[in-house]
Amino acid sequence: MKQLVRVFATIFIVAFGLMFLAARLNMTEGYSGNNTLTIYNWGDYIDPDLIKQFEKETGIKVIYQTFDSNEAMMTKISQGGTTFDVAVPSEYMISKMKEEHLLIPIDHSKLPNLKYIDPRFMDLSFDPNNKYSIPYFWGTVGIAYNSSMLGGKKITNWNDLWDKDLRNQILLVDGAREVMGMGLNSLHYSLNDTNEAHLQEAKKKLASLTPNVKAIIGDEIKILLANREAAVGVVWSGEAAEMISENKELNYVIPKEGSNLWFDNMVIPKTAKNIDGAHQFINFMLDPKHAAQNAEYIGYSTPNKKALDYLPKNIANDKRFYPDPETTKKLEVYENLGKSMLAHYNELFLEFKMHRK
């Protein structure tokens, strides 16, 4: 009898242990209920104090998980095994996620603070009427340069990069859309161009830039420019703002021919379990004071027009990172070109990289 009791006791302990382990795994994998909200965002892309404040105001516990690429984020969500209540993909990925039916429509009536978003950044091609996404941060692709290393020379457009005086002085981001877009824009074509003749023309022009290109790299570009290892870099505006704050010799310009206007938006994935909490969080982040606090902490541009009133004037009035409507009219959002055309862009970019070798 005692042996039987021990057997049942052992089974009970093992079962309880498994239940406890499953609960822990659910927590780490994004389990969500009415009192829990799982957010899936880029690394270091929110002021941690705002998460604490949201938890305090709502009583909702936030589980914050991160990804390092749009593709990794979409793969995780499409697999469906993990619960995420809010995610922050980029514009072209939002278009893809809509096609794959991975998003839940957002109820605008639950977002009274939506009125503070600048109309320029609403109802864009990747999400008409903002049915599935709400602007979080935005920015541009442009040129960061060290004028003192260039003898005081200024850069104002893409075609300046082909100057022979810039031999071995340019760093490029390792991105097919960014580099191919640069080539297309320098020829006054759309960065979403699918005309094969135009694409080949852009590839040929990029090949002629090779002598000036020191490296095609990732995050290291910030360190190398800050340390004067190169004079020029094609970068995202937020990274430029961070570099300039640390090195006043650097400047940033949006090329006159045009460039990319990018967005990271908040969405509610189909995996969401706490949809009401997701709306509460999105509305919380749309509060002008919260948006300003987040923008100052991260360094990227807020789409919240009212938030500019709460930002330091040297930030809110900096036209390099808050360009006027006349400038943004010349910029383009990346369109979802489809798998075949995106693969072609990547192929052309790879050929350019191989040409350098």
| 341 and 215 housed in the same domain | yes
160 DSSP 8-state letter? G
| Cα–Cα distance measured from residue 210 to residue 214, given in angstroms and rounded to the nearest whole number | 8
Sign of the Cα torsion 181, 185, 191, 193 reads: negative
| 270 and 187 housed in the same domain | no
pTM beyond 0.75: the answer is yes
Q: Tell me which residue has tokens 């939506």.
A: 114
Model confidence pLDDT, tens digit, residues 179-218 = 999 999 999 999 999 999 999 999 999 999 999 999 999 8
With a pLDDT cut of 70, the percent of the chain lying above it is 90
Does the pLDDT of residue 142 top 80, yes or no? yes
Sign of the Cα torsion 271, 274, 275, 279 reads: negative
| 189 and 106 housed in the same domain | no
Q: Tell me which residue has tokens 């109820």.
A: 107
Please tell me the predicted confidence (pLDDT) of residue 200. 97
Residue 18 lies in a domain: no
| 88 and 217 housed in the same domain | no
Give bridge partners of residue 172 from the DSSP assignment: 216, 234
Please tell me the predicted confidence (pLDDT) of residue 106. 98
Model confidence pLDDT, tens digit, residues 285-310 = 999 999 999 999 998 999 999 999 99
Question: Are the C-beta atoms of 104 and 275 separated by less than 8 Å?
Answer: yes
Question: Are the C-beta atoms of 199 and 340 separated by less than 8 Å?
Answer: no
With a pLDDT cut of 90, the percent of the chain lying above it is 77
Per-residue pLDDT, averaged over 324-349, amounts to 91
Per-residue pLDDT, averaged over 245-258, amounts to 93
Per-residue pLDDT, averaged over 141-154, amounts to 94
Q: Tell me which residue has tokens 């902490």.
A: 297
**Number of domains comprising the chain:** 2
Model confidence pLDDT, tens digit, residues 15-65 = 445 444 444 444 444 444 579 999 999 988 999 999 999 999 999 999 999
Residue 12 lies in a domain: no
- Type and span of the H or E element at 242: helix 237-246
Residue 6 lies in a domain: no
Closest by Cα among 199, 182, 127 to 343: 199
Per-residue pLDDT, averaged over 91-98, amounts to 94
| 169 and 56 housed in the same domain | no
Question: Are the C-beta atoms of 225 and 233 separated by less than 8 Å?
Answer: yes
Does the pLDDT of residue 5 top 90, yes or no? no
Please tell me the predicted confidence (pLDDT) of residue 28. 42
Residue 143 lies in a domain: yes
Instruction: Domain of residue 57: give its range.
Output: 33-137+263-322
| Cα–Cα distance measured from residue 289 to residue 281, given in angstroms and rounded to the nearest whole number | 14
Residue 2 lies in a domain: no
Say how far residue 341 (Cα) sits from the centre of its chain. Answer: 22
| 215 and 341 housed in the same domain | yes
Cα 244 to Cα 66, 78, 145, 203, distances in angstroms: 26, 38, 10, 31
Residue 27 lies in a domain: no
Tokens of 349: 């970019």
| 150 and 238 housed in the same domain | yes
| 205 and 284 housed in the same domain | no
| 155 and 241 housed in the same domain | yes
The pair phi, psi for residue 308, each rounded to 5°, is -60, -25
Higher pLDDT, 287 or 12: 287
Residue 4 lies in a domain: no
| 39 and 182 housed in the same domain | no
Instruction: Specify the long-range contacts of residues 290-298, CB closer than 8 Å, at least 24 apart.
Output: 290/50, 290/53, 291/116, 293/47, 293/49, 293/50, 294/46, 294/47, 294/50, 295/137, 297/46, 297/47, 298/44, 298/45, 298/46, 298/47, 298/137, 298/238
Please tell me the predicted confidence (pLDDT) of residue 345. 95
Higher pLDDT, 21 or 157: 157
| 286 and 202 housed in the same domain | no
Per-residue pLDDT, averaged over 72-94, amounts to 93
**Extended strands (E) in the chain:** 36-42, 61-67, 86-87, 133-146, 170-173, 213-217, 232-236, 250-253, 261-267
82 DSSP 8-state letter? S
Report helix, strand or coil for 298: helix
Residue 19 lies in a domain: no
Please tell me the predicted confidence (pLDDT) of residue 25. 42
User: How much is the mean pLDDT over the chain?
Assistant: 90
Per-residue pLDDT, averaged over 227-235, amounts to 95
Buried-state track 303-330, b at ≥16 Cβ within 10 A, e below 16: bbbbbbebbeeebbebebbbbeeebbee
| Cα–Cα distance measured from residue 258 to residue 127, given in angstroms and rounded to the nearest whole number | 22
| 279 and 254 housed in the same domain | no
Q: Is residue 2 very low, low, confident or very high in pLDDT (cuts 50, 70, 90)?
A: very low
Least confident of 76-85, 135-144, 299-308: 76-85
For position 305, which CATH number holds? 3.40.190.10
Helix 91-99 × helix 70-79 angle, to 10°: 20
